[in-house]
Structure 1
Amino acid sequence: MTLQNTRRTRWRAAVVAGGVAALLTAGMAAAVSAQAAAGCQVAYSVSAQWPGGFTANVDVTNLGDPVNGWNVRWTFPSGQQVTQAWNAAVTASGGQQTATNMSYNAAIGTNATVSFGFNGSWSGSNNPPTAFSLNNVTCTGTIGGTPSPSNSPSTRPSPSASASASPSPSTPPQPGDPMATVAAMQPGWNLGNTLDAIPDETAWGNPLTTQALLRHVRQQGYRSIRIPVTWSNHHGPAPAYTIDSTWLNRVRQIVDWSLAEDLYVMINLHHDSWQWINAYPTDRANVLARYSALWTQLSGAFRGYPSRLVFESINEPQFAGTSGDEQNYQVLHELNAEFVRIVRRSGGGNATRLLVLPTLFTNADQGRLDALTATFRQLGDSNVAATVHFYGWWPFSVNIAGGTRYDASVEQDLIATFDRVHATFVAHGIPVIIGEWALLNWDHNRPGIIERGEFLKFLEAVGYHARIRNLTTMVWDAGQFLNRSELRWRDPGVFAMMKTSWTTRSATGSTDQIYVPRSTAITAKSITLNLNGASFTGLRQGTVNLVSGSDYTLSGNVLTLTAAAVTRLVGSRAYGVNATLEARFSQGEPWPISIITYDPPSQAAASGTTSSFAIPTQFRGDQLATMEAKYADGTNAGPADWTSYKEFWTHFQPDYAAGTLLLKPEFFNEVRDGTVTLTFHFWSGSQITYRITKAGTAVTGTSS
C-alpha cells in the first residue's frame, strides 16, 4: 500500500479444496504422422462449481513424438458448454468440443504437458467427459473425472469444524506453468504492516511474526502468503548497497517458515517504491544502481529456493518528475525489464521462477493494463504474471460522498475492474494476482465507518467475481482481520463470508439491521433477499427455528417478520440490539439480521474550538451512517467540497460511549467563517440537522 494508506488497516484461481483431479490414463496408440501423438495422458478436473456454471482445467501430456500444433477433442456427456477459455481456443460442433493451441503453446515435446482451462455452463448434472483425443488419436485407458457436486442443501459445518479445515498439501505445479502456479496460490493472505513497516517489523503495531501464526494462516485455508518487505532502512550505502545480514536472515526465516507450512510465498520491494524508487526519472543512475544491487542480492540469496517462492518487482510503483503517463509507463518498463534480467541471469531456481510485474500504481485502468501488456510482449518471458490491487469504489471504501452502501456503483466498479484484467491478461494466457484487496477504511480501531452488512456483501461479491474470472486474490491484512497475538479472527462472521466466497455464493439481504421505534406501535418489518442462486430454507434465532406463517412470510424474495414476532424479539424494547437472527439458505453463509430498538437521536448546544469540538448527542440505540455539511447559501462546506457528504472518521466521528459527535480539526481546516448546516444521517433512516458557527478558531453549535 502507498504511504497515505500504510497505517490504515487498510484466480486463474482454482480452488483446490473444491475439486478432485481425475487422471485419464492413456495407453500407447499406433504411430501416426509427425503432427499426431503416439499416445497421450489427460488430467481433467473441475476446480470450482456454482449453480449453472463451473471452472475446469485440462492437462494433456504427449507420450509420443513431439508435435507442433495440436487440438484436443472431447464430448460432454451432460450437455455442458464452454463459455470462456484460456491457453486454448475452444469451439463446438454439436456436442463435440475442440480445443486448439494458441501461438505461444503450439509445441509439445515428448513427455511434455500442455495445460488449458475454461469456464462452462451446465444444467441438471455436470458429469466429466469419458474420452479425449490429441490430434485425432484417442487417449485410451481408465477414464474418470471430477464428479458433479450434489445440488441438495447441505448442513452447514459447525464453527469449530470450519475453523480447523485446511486444504491438504498438494504437489506444486511444474516450474514454467504460470497459470497453474497462480491458480495454486488461491487464496492468498498479506502479512501487512510487518516487514514492510518503517523502520522495523513491530513499528506499526503488529507483533513479531511466528511460525505458529503462519501455520494458523495455512490451517484457515490460505494457500499463499505475500510478504511485503521494505529494504531501504536495512542496507548499506552505495555502491554495494549491502543488505543487512540480520534483516535478510529474518526475511529468510519467515520465508522458510511459510514454505514449511506448504504456502506459496511472494516477496517484493515494498515501500521502497515511494521512498526512493519514485526518483528514478530524475536520478536514473543512482536509483537503477540501488535497485539492481538489491535484486542481485535477493536473487542470489534465494537462488536455490523451490518454485513456490515468487518474486514481485515493486509494490505500487509511482514516479515523480515525469511528463505524464507515457513516461511513467516507459520508466516502469525499464525497471521491470531490469528485474527480470537480473533474476533470470542468476540461474538456479530463478531461471524458471514465477516473476510478478505490477501496473503503474498497481492500478487496473485500461491504460495501465495495456502498458504492462506491452512490457510482457517485449520481454517474451513465458513465466510471468501481472498484479493489480483492488480496494473497491473509493467513496464506499472510505465512506465519503454518501458512499455508505454496497450499491450498483460499487458493484459495477468491481465487475468492470475484474473484467478488464481478465480480458487483458488471463484471456491471453497471463495469470493475474490481485496482490492486495479489502476496503481502505475497514478497521477494528475505527468501527462504524463501513457498515458490517454492506461489507459482507462486498466480501461475497469479490470472492465470486474473482473466482469466475480466474483471478487469484490476496487479502490485505494489517491486523484488522486476524488478531495475530491471539490467533483468532476479530470478526468470525466476516472471515466466514470471505472463506465461503472462495468456493460458493452466499445469499445476502438489503440490510442486516431492522430498526423498531421504541415509542410507536410495532408493525411487520421486511427485507429483500438477494439469493445469488440459493434458496431460502428458514429463519433462526440461536438454536430455535422461527415458524413460517406466524413468525415470518416469504413472498418472492421479500422476507417479512410479522408484528407478533417483532414484538417478541424486541422484548422490553431497550435501546440497541435486542435480538439477532440468521436467514438460512441452501448454500453459503447465513445472513445475519439484528433487531434494534431506537428513537430518533437528539443533540444539544455546544461550544468549543476548531481543534476540539464535540456535539452532545443522545444516540438512543441508533447508529451514525454519514454527515453532510453546507453553507447558508446551499454550497458544500468543508473538505472535498465537490460533495456535501464528508469522510467518516477523518472529518467527523461518533463516540457512543461518551454521547458525543466529534468534528475533527481536518474538517474545520477547510471551513470558512460563518454558519454551516450539518445533516446527520442514521442507519434507522432518521436525519437530524445541527448548525455551527465558526469565527476564527471559536465554534458554537445549536440543534435545529
Structure 2
Amino acid sequence: MNGFRTFRRWVSLAAGGLALVMASSGAASAAPDAGPGRGGPKADAMDAVEAMQPGWNLGNSLDAVGADETAWGNPRITEELLENVRDQGFNSIRIPVTWGQHQAPGDHALDPDHLDRVAEVVDWALDDGFWVMLNIHHDSWQWISSMPADREGVRARYDAMWEQLAERFRDAPDRLVFESINEPQFSGSSGDAENAELLHELNTSFHEIVRGSGGGNDDRLLVLPSLHTSADQARLDELMATFDVLDDPNLIATVHYYGYWPFSVNVAGGTRFDEVAREDMTGMFQRVRDTFVARGIPVVIGEYGLLGFDRHTGTVQQGEKLKFFELFGHYARTHGITTMLWDNGQHFHRTGFTWNDAELFGHIESSWRGRSGTASTDQVFSARSAPVTDQRLTLHPNGTRFTGLSHDGDRLRRGWDYVIEGNELTLRARLLARLDGDREYGTNAQLTAHFSKGEPWRIDLITYDRPVLADASGTTDAFAVPTDFRGDRLATMEAVYEDGTNAGPHNWTPFKEFDVAFAPDYAGGSTTLTPAFFAEVADGRRVTLTFHYWSGATVTYDVVKSGNQVTGTVA
C-alpha cells in the first residue's frame, strides 16, 4: 500500500475460476524451523504462520520512493524502534522494500549499500525474535506493471533482483520469509486471463529462483499474493491454481484487506460499520478460509486497516472504527489467519514509541485474545436548547457480559443513573443533567461501559445545538464555509445541482469523500471545500450542499463557482 494514496478503487468482481495449464515444478523438501535459527524442532507451515500472529508493517520507510528511507516523512529506522514494536506484542514484522531505484541498468545489480542497509534492519528484527517478511514492494506499479508490453525486460529485471536477494539471505534463519511481490498489477493487459498468466509466471519464477539457490532457501517459507492481493473469489482461484502447480508444503497465501471501500474512506454515505460493511469483511474471511486454510494452506493478511488512515485516523468516526477492528480481530483468530497491521507511521510513533491512538490499539491488542463489548454508538448528544431527556443506546456484548457503567472511575448506580433492559442501555436524564454541568458545547463527560472481558467502551456525553453557517467568498484553491459547530461533529456532506443531479467528485453518489472533498476544522470554526472538489464542479451552476452531523442535524448551504472564484451563501 502507498501511504500517500488518496484514492483506492473498490470494485466487486464476479466470482469464477480460471483453469491454468502450466508445467509443474518440484516441491520443496522440509518444513521450516519454528524456533530462532535452523536445526531446532520442525513445525509445518501452518504452525509457523500461527506463530507469526500478530504482525506489523514497517511501512513508508525502506519502501519509500525517493532519495532514501526518510523520503516519505518517517525517521531513519533504529534498532530501538524494532525493540519497542516487539514489546507491543507483535511476533512478526513485514519489511516492505522498493528496490528498483537502487538497481543498476544493464546487469540489474542492486546497490550494495542499500542491500546492506536492508540486511541490517532484517538482522535487527531477527535478533529481536521477530518472524520477518521481506518483499519487493512499490516496484509492482513502478515497472513490473509494464510486463504486458515488456515481458522479457521485466522478467530479466525481476529474476535478477530475486537471484541477488536469495543469495544474500540464503543462510538467514528460517524466521526470514520471502514475499514474491506486493500488490501485483498489470497495465495494458488483455484482461483477467493474461493478468493471471503473468502473475503465475512471476510467482513460479520467484519460487524456482529461491528454491534453486540452496542453503536455507531449500525450505524457506515463501509468500505468494493474488492479483492486487484481492480476496475476490476469482483472484483466489487463480492463486490456488499456482499452489496446485507448485505443490510445495512451505508456501503461504497472502491477501490485503482495507474494508468495504465506502466505509473505509467515508464516501457514498458510508459513515457507519453497518451490515453491508460487516458482510464485506466476513465474506472475505470465509472465502480465504474455504479456498486455502481448509486445504491446509496458511494465509497471512499482509496488510489491513482502513484506507482513510492514509491521511490521519480521524476520517472514520472513532466508535465505528473500533467496531471494525474488534470484529476483524475476532474473525482472524477464529478462522486461523495471521494478520499484519499496516502502519505508515500514523499508528506507532517511531521516536516516541507510543500509540497515537491508544484506544484503537487497545481494541486491536484485545482482539488477539478474545472479544470486547461495543455499542451502537460512542456518542450521546443532548441539545442545549431543549430540556435534558433520557438517552438510549444498544450494547453489543459480543459474547461478553455487561457488568456496569462508570464515570471517572466511580461506579454509577444501576436503576438510578441508568437502566439496562436486555441490551438496551438507558442513560437517565438526571445523570446527564448532573454530568453536563453548565452545558457548554462539546463533550462534557465520558462514561465507561464495562464488560466481563476485553476492552471497555467509552461513551462521550455531548452538548450541542444545530450548527450555524455563514456566507463566504474565496477561490477554488482556498474556500471554507464559516461554521459554528456548537458542539456537533460532521459526519458527511452531500452535493447536488439544482436539477438534483450529483455534483463534485464521485458523481455516482451525492455523498462526497470525507477529508478529500471536504473537511471540518473544529478549532478554526470552518468547513473546508477542497480544490479537488471544485475541480469537478461545473462553472456557473449552483451546488446545494447538505452537511450531515452526528447528532442527526442537517444544514444546507449553496456554492457557485465562477472561474476560480467561489461564493457561498446560507440556503
Contact 1:362 1:388 in 2 (8 A): yes
Residues of 2 paired with 1:171 and 1:544: CA distance?
A: 54
Deviation (angstroms), 1:7: 10
Residues of 1 paired with 2:120 and 2:408: CA distance?
A: 44
Deviations 1:49-78 (A, max 9, x none): xxxxxxxxxxxxxxxxxxxxxxxxxxxxxx
RMSD of equivalent CA atoms: 2.0
Deviations 1:211-240 (A, max 9, x none): 11111111111000000000011121212x
**Selected match of 1:417 from 284, 309, 314:** 284
Which has a greater percent of strand?
A: 1
The reply to whether residue 492 of structure 1 matches residue 358 of structure 2 is yes
Runs of 4+ in 1 over 3 A off after TM superposition: 168-176, 445-448
AA aligned opposite 1:675: R
* Structure 1: gaps spanning 5 or more residues: 9-108, 115-167
Contact 2:31 2:249 in 1 (8 A): no
Paired residue for 1:205?
73
Which has a greater percent of helix?
A: 2
**Selected match of 2:128 from 240, 261, 265:** 261
Paired residue for 2:505?
639
Paired residue for 1:149?
none
Residues of 1 paired with 2:3 and 2:430: CA distance?
A: 53
**Selected match of 1:576 from 417, 424, 442:** 442
Deviations 1:466-495 (A, max 9, x none): 111111000000111101110000111110
**Selected match of 2:105 from 237, 244, 247:** 237
Residues of 1 paired with 2:513 and 2:124: CA distance?
A: 40
Paired residue for 2:485?
619
Contact 1:527 1:558 in 2 (8 A): yes
The reply to whether residue 601 of structure 1 matches residue 484 of structure 2 is no
**Selected match of 1:214 from 65, 82, 89:** 82
Contact 1:175 1:307 in 2 (8 A): no
Residues of 2 paired with 1:670 and 1:353: CA distance?
A: 50
Q: Percent identity?
A: 55
Paired residue for 2:325?
459
Contact 2:268 2:513 in 1 (8 A): yes
Q: How does 1:541-580 map to 2 (within 5 A)?
A: 541-580=407-446
Contact 2:258 2:305 in 1 (8 A): yes
Paired residue for 2:19?
none
Structure 1 length-normalised TM: 0.76
Deviation (angstroms), 1:596: 0.8
The reply to whether residue 399 of structure 1 matches residue 266 of structure 2 is yes
Deviations 1:19-48 (A, max 9, x none): xxxxxxxxxxxxxxxxxxxxxxxxxxxxxx
Structure 1 stretch displaced more, 291-300 or 276-285 = 276-285
Paired residue for 1:159?
none
AA aligned opposite 1:206: N
Paired residue for 1:382?
249
Residues of 2 paired with 1:409 and 1:174: CA distance?
A: 45
Residues of 2 paired with 1:666 and 1:279: CA distance?
A: 29
Paired residue for 2:237?
370
Contact 2:312 2:346 in 1 (8 A): no
Deviation (angstroms), 1:113: 10
Deviation (angstroms), 1:694: 2.2
Residues of 1 paired with 2:147 and 2:184: CA distance?
A: 11
Paired residue for 1:441?
308
The reply to whether residue 274 of structure 1 matches residue 141 of structure 2 is yes
AA aligned opposite 1:613: F
Contact 1:607 1:701 in 2 (8 A): yes
Q: How does 1:115-514 map to 2 (within 5 A)?
A: 174=41, 177-199=44-66, 200-239=68-107, 241-442=108-309, 446=312, 448-514=314-380
Residues of 2 paired with 1:580 and 1:519: CA distance?
A: 21
Pair 1:4–1:326, CA change in 2 (3 A): farther
Contact 2:37 2:173 in 1 (8 A): no
Residues of 1 paired with 2:38 and 2:408: CA distance?
A: 42
Which entry has the higher C-alpha Rg, 1 or 2?
A: 1
Deviations 1:86-131 (A, max 9, x none): xxxxxxxxxxxxxxxxxxxxxxx9xx999xxxxxxxxxxxxxxxxx
Aligned-partner SS, 2:50: helix
AA aligned opposite 2:455: E
Residues of 1 paired with 2:124 and 2:31: CA distance?
A: 31
Structure 2 length-normalised TM: 0.93
Deviation (angstroms), 1:608: 1.6
Paired residue for 1:657?
523
Paired residue for 2:387?
521
Aligned-partner SS, 2:309: coil
Deviation (angstroms), 1:257: 0.6
Pair 1:643–1:491, CA change in 2 (3 A): same
Q: How does 1:624-703 map to 2 (within 5 A)?
A: 624-673=490-539, 674-703=541-570
Contact 2:3 2:60 in 1 (8 A): no
Contact 2:293 2:299 in 1 (8 A): yes
Pair 1:360–1:173, CA change in 2 (3 A): farther
Residues of 1 paired with 2:178 and 2:318: CA distance?
A: 35
AA aligned opposite 1:558: E
Contact 1:630 1:636 in 2 (8 A): yes
Contact 2:36 2:173 in 1 (8 A): no
Contact 2:38 2:174 in 1 (8 A): no
Paired residues in the alignment total 547
* Structure 2: gaps spanning 5 or more residues: 9-28
